[in-house]
Amino acid sequence: MNIFVINAGSSSLKYQLFKMPAEQPICVGLIERIGLSGSIINHKVFTGGQEKTVREELDLPDHQAALQEVVKLLTEAGTGVIQDPGEIDVVGHRVVHGGERFSDTTVITPAVKEQIKMLFHLAPLHNPGNFQGIEVAENLFHKATQVAVFDTAFHQTMPEKAYRYAIPASFYTQDGVRVYGFHGTSHKYVAAKVGEYLDNPEAKVITIHLGNGCSMAAVKAGKCIDTSMGFTPLDGLIMGTRSGAIDASVVFYLASKLGMPMEQIDNLLNKKSGMLGLTGSSDMREVQKARAAGDPDAILAYEMYAYRIQKYIGSYAAALNGVDALVFTAGVGENDALTRELVCQNMEYLGVHLDQTRNAVRNGSLREINTPESPAKVLVIPTNEELEIANQCCQLLAEVR
């Protein structure tokens, strides 16, 4: 089964093609600057144990033009891995927000598309781009089954006590104001890997997704019971440019006392805060260099970043009544040994004992970084959201058929 996975952003398009059940993609790609001059395509093909890379720079005015270029690369001599777009059996789409309506992977119908459009206001930066990707793919891969995989779906198993806010109930019942959580595809993928690795389907796991966006989840027996992002992806951990959890009164103060318009406050907390606001850079590699050079802002930022994660670990250990494994994943989680070291300090009370030598190793595969005698496992697991989407598409179609 040929499954083509699409992750469409407002000006970008990530994609992978899987020939399932093989879990290694036969091609991967990223298109950036869609709608701007000088759009960039990076396309990689894996055949016969070899890798071939194509990099192009051209003007792509919209997602239609971008996907048409992808189809060309998929089918033409030299880069082609299929003969015709009709060979694609399924197109799996990452959709960021599914609200309460979508708790499972779903075949896309006109009714489903209308529901996704109705959720634009909950994810204005993401859902419109996801929707555009669906509409373009329907035209180009007209024989394929179109499937939506929602970032919020994994968190729909949270109990009401975890997802409700302590505000009048009408804001939830009428307006949908509640915790939704995000990065669900990543959390689901790594949590399943932990269960397999520990051979314990009932495992109590805390998954820690650290990239430019950061979130955590408390997972018991493969089900999410709490997560750090909330109504939007702004809540929770300190991130690359987002503040994470902050006293709501700060917003009132910025508006009423400093005279900042709401749009400017929104931009401040989402795009100018986090590590960028603390240090001047949202790139953890740059912050780490500054820290090593003795920059006090970078030193403090790392301490704050790790401390916020530690606080969530403590609360999630309480929610789970213990913890069998901590899991670090995504760009920072997988590659930043310093972050993992700082997070695991003073965690002996939870049975967490980090092995410094193991922690320093980078090998791109699932690995333990705890000491042999550590009661709790500390794992690094590379996430693979595209593979998780492909797997969920396969499972859904198997159930339908």
| Start-to-end C-alpha separation, the chain | 14
Reply yes or no: is the peptide bond before residue 25 cis, omega within 30 of 0. Answer: no
| Same domain, yes or no: 126 and 42 | yes
Q: What is the pLDDT of residues 180-214, one digit of tens each?
A: 999 999 999 999 999 999 999 999 999 999 998 99
User: CA–CA separation, 340 vs 348, rounded Å?
Assistant: 14
| Same domain, yes or no: 240 and 331 | yes
Q: Is 151 a catalytic residue?
A: yes
Q: What is the pLDDT of residues 295-350, one digit of tens each?
A: 999 999 999 999 999 999 999 999 999 999 999 999 999 999 999 999 999 999 99
Please state, rounded to an integer, the average pLDDT across all residues of the chain: 93
Q: In sequence order, what are the beta bridge partners of 346?
A: none
Q: In sequence order, what are the beta bridge partners of 46?
A: 51
| Same domain, yes or no: 129 and 205 | no
Residue ranges at the known binding site: 7, 14, 94, 209-213, 283-285, 331-335, 385
| Same domain, yes or no: 268 and 375 | yes
Q: What is the pLDDT of residues 82-100, one digit of tens each?
A: 888 899 999 999 998 998 8
CATH of the domain at 91: 3.30.420.40
Among residues 62, 84, 89, 151, the one annotated as catalytic is 151
Query: Measured in whole angstroms, how far is the alpha carbon of residue 19 from the centre of its chain?
Result: 23
**E strands along 171-232, which residues?**
204-210, 214-220, 223-227
| Same domain, yes or no: 130 and 239 | no
Residue ranges at the known binding site for substrate: 94
C-alpha atoms less than 13 angstroms from C-alpha of 189 in its C-beta half-sphere: 24
Residue 244 has pLDDT above 80, yes or no: yes
Question: Which of the pair, 48 or 285, is modelled with greater confidence?
Answer: 285
Q: What is the pTM of this model?
A: 0.90
Residue ranges at the known binding site for Mg(2+): 7, 385
| Domain count for the chain | 2
Residue 35 has pLDDT above 90, yes or no: no
| Same domain, yes or no: 83 and 142 | yes
**Confidence class of residue 401 from pLDDT cuts 50, 70 and 90?**
low
Query: Measured in whole angstroms, how far is the alpha carbon of residue 247 from the centre of its chain?
Result: 25
**Confidence class of residue 276 from pLDDT cuts 50, 70 and 90?**
very high
| Same domain, yes or no: 205 and 327 | yes
Percent of the chain with pLDDT over 90: 74
Which ranges in 259-329 belong to alpha helices (H)?
262-271, 274-279, 284-292, 296-320
Q: Which domain holds residue 35?
A: 2-150
| Same domain, yes or no: 9 and 87 | yes
